[in-house]
């Protein structure tokens, strides 16, 4: 007996039966038609096969053919050859498919061909929780529409009620856009030139038939709508309970309120088949969102999709997926990471080049696991509070260097993430980013960053309560390390001047004004202007003190009679300490001209006839004045 293999395919394993068979001598072309009956919960499939025996004269005969059909066909397969019923023997089930053997009745000799009609029905996996590719109800239809036979030798035709919105989702070899037409109440999709290597997932929706239920959380929450397939209230009950449980928990872990302003719809779909995963999230243009969730979802998948509401469209995919994975893990208290992957994985790609759900299932499997693992490790390093800090920075596009200000929009998210995670206390972020995330390890840039951060640390310690100028913070926040270097050098020059003036002020035994310090962080240029003025003021103090200490002649003392030179020095110092350097300089001017004029004034006074007794009193006052001045300068800290 010779067996011909009709189908092999993307979604079906090659059966052992076929592998043991001798070389195939048949050629098969097949026209497959799938008529969807949503209200009946079934798809009626008919296959018109043309089987040819290609062996030459004297060759082998073919007695039967084997065919892989969807397991949802459930064994009710009929076949006929030229109108005569054929024997159908059900074989093993492999995944979503089952092998059937069709006896040809009379052998098909070399060079011969036969027309076969095969009919079967696909029914929905029942109950809904069953893992199956096929779902058929009045709101939703998915099934794999396969081609059959030799490559490019057949056609696939799908007929649906025209009130369904339908699409073909690529899987395997599908790049074929079907021709769509309307025939009465039916919408028809058809593609030709396909064979057993063809499979399209048909997904059809009629949302008006969904059963919708509103879920209200708090008063100001836009709420949820749970939209299930007709009759699947178990699913709605379970989703509602999970949403009520998970949203407050996620919100607390993430540290931000629920981000959507419009309703989030959670819609039952066969997401696992359509996307390859248990769920999918999409934000709507109006501020709402939609989650597609499978009938057999897990709470962790639902938590992951809910977490996307905070992150999607706001940060890079690898980071959004990693955070969604980690927060879902925390919210559902999963303690084990499965599967663990390594950077040496054959499927490994740098996560920054990953486009989730782009059809590369192997890459997706690696990348989801890798992003989740990476975030698990960093979250453990950060602790809950640190992780919330990082999220706030990421979502606010701000930087820990310049709180409250937006960082450059050119910055990649890994850069913001690295800054905020390190600032929040994570000890090892850079190395895992290089190992897992970056296509370009950015070694030079990271070296420059490290050097700039060291320089900033030194500066910050030196600046003390003067703080860090905004220009430095912004340059660091924007990873503009050239500018950071320049700004640090300029600010360092001001600190040099600050230190010089502090030393001088200490030597003169005076305090210093705080205005240059107070403006330094916000406006270093203003601070520089104030330091220049301060230098003038301090110079006035020094000059006043020196002038007051000068030895004075008897005549000068007579001229200064009635003037309190000491009080004038004190007033210069007071103006300086208040930051009124112009007044300090002006008061010094007054003092200087008083001292300069003292001798002349003395002569005038003597010419005017001053009593001896008054002069003696003046001499005593002059000696006292000098002693006071000497005592003051000796008291200066550096002993000058
Ligand atoms: Zn995701």
Residues 617-628: what's their mean pLDDT?
A: 57
Q: Using one digit for the tens of pLDDT, what is the confidence trace for 237-258?
A: 999 999 999 999 999 999 999 9
Whole-number pLDDT of residue 3: 28
Distance 372 CA to ligand 1 centre (A): 10
Percent of the chain residues topping a pLDDT of 90: 57
Distance 222 CA to ligand 1 centre (A): 22
- The arrangement of secondary structure in 3-207, i.e. its CATH architecture, is Sandwich (2.60)
pTM of the model: 0.78
Distance 319 CA to ligand 1 centre (A): 10
Distance 140 CA to ligand 1 centre (A): 23
Distance 153 CA to ligand 1 centre (A): 39
Whole-number pLDDT of residue 7: 28
Assess whether the region 3-207 and the region 210-298 belong to the same CATH fold: no
Percent of the chain that is helix, strand, coil (3-state, to 5) = 45, 25, 30
Q: Using one digit for the tens of pLDDT, what is the confidence trace for 335-386?
A: 888 778 988 999 999 999 999 887 788 899 999 999 999 999 999 999 999 9
DSSP secondary structure, 310-359, as one string = HHTTTS-HHHHHHHHHHHHHHHTT-----S---TT-TT---GGG--TTSS
d(CA 452, CA 458): 10
Distance 289 CA to ligand 1 centre (A): 14
pLDDT at residue 9 tops 80? no
Distance 215 CA to ligand 1 centre (A): 23
Q: Using one digit for the tens of pLDDT, what is the confidence trace for 490-511?
A: 999 999 999 999 999 999 999 9
**C-beta of residue 429 within 8 angstroms of C-beta of residue 498:** no
124 versus 12: the higher-pLDDT residue is: 124
DSSP secondary structure, 503-559, as one string = HHHHHHT----SHHHHHHTT-HHHHHHHHHHHHHHHHHHHHHHHHHHS---HHHHHH
Q: Which CATH class is domain 210-298?
A: alpha beta
Sketch the domain layout of the chain as residue ranges: 3-207, 210-298, 314-441, 518-634
Distance 321 CA to ligand 1 centre (A): 5
Distance 371 CA to ligand 1 centre (A): 10
* Cα three-residue angle 153-155-161, rounded to 5 degrees: 175
* Position 612 confidence tier, pLDDT thresholds 50, 70, 90: low
70 versus 259: the higher-pLDDT residue is: 259
């Amino acid at each position: 007996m010779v067996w011909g293999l009709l189908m092999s395919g993307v979604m079906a394993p090659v059966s052992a039966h076929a592998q043991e068979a001798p070389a195939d001598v048949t050629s098969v072309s097949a026209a497959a038609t799938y008529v969807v009956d949503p209200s009946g919960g079934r798809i009626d499939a008919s296959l018109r096969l043309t089987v040819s025996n290609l062996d030459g004269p004297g060759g082998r005969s073919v007695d039967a053919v084997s065919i892989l059909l969807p397991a949802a066909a459930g064994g009710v397969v009929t076949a006929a050859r030229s109108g005569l019923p054929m024997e159908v023997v059900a074989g093993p089930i492999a995944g979503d498919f089952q092998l059937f053997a069709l006896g040809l009745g009379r052998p098909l000799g070399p060079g011969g061909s036969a027309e076969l009609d095969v009919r079967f029905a696909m029914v929905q996996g029942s109950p809904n929780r069953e893992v199956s590719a096929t779902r058929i109800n009045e709101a939703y239809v998915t099934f794999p529409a396969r081609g059959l036979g030799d490559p490019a030798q057949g056609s696939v035709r799908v007929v649906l009620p025209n009130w369904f919105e339908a699409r073909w989702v690529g899987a395997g070899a599908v790049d074929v856009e079907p021709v769509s037409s309307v025939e009465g109440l039916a919408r028809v999709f058809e593609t030709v030139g396909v064979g057993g290597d063809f499979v399209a997932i048909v997904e059809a929706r009629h949302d008006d038939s969904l059963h919708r239920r509103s879920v209200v959380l708090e008063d100001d929450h836009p709420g949820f709508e749970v939209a299930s397939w007709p009759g699947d209230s178990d699913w709605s009950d379970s989703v509602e309970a999970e949403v009520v449980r998970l949203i407050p928990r996620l919100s607390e872990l993430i540290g931000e309120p629920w981000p959507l302003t419009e309703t989030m719809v959670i819609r039952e779909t066969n997401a696992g088949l359509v996307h390859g995963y248990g769920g999918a999230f999409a934000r709507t243009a109006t501020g709402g969102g939609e989650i597609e969730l499978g009938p057999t979802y897990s709470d962790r998948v639902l938590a992951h999709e809910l977490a996307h509401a905070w992150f999607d469209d706001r940060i890079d995919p690898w980071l959004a997926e990693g955070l969604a994975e980690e927060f879902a893990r925390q919210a559902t208290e999963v303690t084990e990471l499965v599967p663990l992957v390594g950077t040496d994985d054959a499927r490994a790609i740098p996560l920054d080049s990953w486009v989730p759900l782009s059809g590369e299932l192997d890459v997706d499997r690696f990348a989801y696991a890798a992003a989740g693992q990476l975030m698990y490790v960093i979250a453990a390093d950060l602790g809950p509070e640190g992780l919330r800090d990082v999220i706030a920075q990421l979502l606010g596009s701000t930087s820990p260097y310049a709180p409250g200000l937006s960082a450059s929009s050119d910055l990649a998210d890994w850069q913001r993430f690295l800054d905020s995670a390190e600032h929040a206390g994570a000890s090892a972020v850079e190395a895992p980013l290089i190992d897992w995330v970056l296509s370009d390890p950015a070694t030079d840039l990271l070296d420059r960053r490290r050097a700039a951060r060291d320089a900033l640390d030194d500066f910050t310690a030196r600046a003390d309560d003067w703080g860090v100028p905004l220009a430095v913070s912004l340059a660091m926040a924007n990873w503009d390390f050239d500018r950071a270097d320049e700004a640090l050098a300029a600010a360092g020059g001001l600190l040099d001047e600050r230190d010089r003036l502090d030393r001088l002020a200490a030597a003169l035994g005076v305090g210093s004004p705080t205005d240059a310090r107070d403006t330094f962080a916000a406006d270093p240029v203003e601070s520089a202007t104030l330091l220049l003025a301060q230098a003038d003021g301090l110079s006035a103090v020094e000059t006043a003190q020196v002038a007051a200490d000068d030895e004075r002649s008897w005549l000068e003392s007579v001229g200064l009679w009635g003037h309190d030179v000491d009080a004038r020095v004190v007033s210069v110092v007071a103006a300086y300490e208040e930051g009124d350097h112009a007044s300090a300089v002006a008061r010094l001017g007054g003092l200087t001209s008083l001292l300069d004029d003292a001798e002349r004034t003395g002569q005038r006074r003597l010419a005017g006839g001053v009593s001896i007794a008054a002069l003696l009193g003046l001499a005593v006052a002059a000696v006292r004045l000098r002693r006071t001045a000497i005592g003051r300068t000796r008291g200066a800290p550096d002993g000058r």
